[in-house]
Amino acid sequence: MSMEYQFKIQFGDTDAAGIVYYPNYYRYMDNATHAFFEQIGFPTQELLEKRYSIPLLEAHCNFFAPGYFHRIITVTTKVEELREKVFKLAHQFKDGETVIAQGYEVRAWVSLKGEKPKAQPIPEELKHKLQQYQIGG
Q: Quote the pLDDT of residue 1.
A: 85
Q: What is the pTM of this model?
A: 0.94
2 CB-near residues (< 8 Å, 6+ apart): 76, 77, 78, 133
Distance, CA of 60 to CA of 24 (rounded, Å) = 12
* 102, part of any domain: yes
Q: Is residue 74 part of a domain?
A: yes
Domain contains 14: yes
Q: Which amino acid is it at 82?
A: L
68 is in which domain, residue-wise? 3-132
> 9: domain CATH number?
3.10.129.10
Per the structure, how many domains does the chain have? 1
Q: Is residue 56 part of a domain?
A: yes
Query: pLDDT tens string for the chain (137 positions)?
Result: 899 999 999 999 999 999 999 999 999 999 999 999 999 999 999 999 999 999 999 999 999 999 999 999 999 999 999 999 999 999 999 999 999 999 999 999 999 998 999 999 999 999 999 999 998 76
Closest among 106, 95, 85 to 20, alpha carbons compared = 95
- Return the DSSP state at 122: P
pLDDT of residue 136: 78
Let me know if residue 84 belongs to a domain: yes
Count of C-beta atoms within a 10 Å radius of residue 40: 16
Structural domain contains residue 137: no
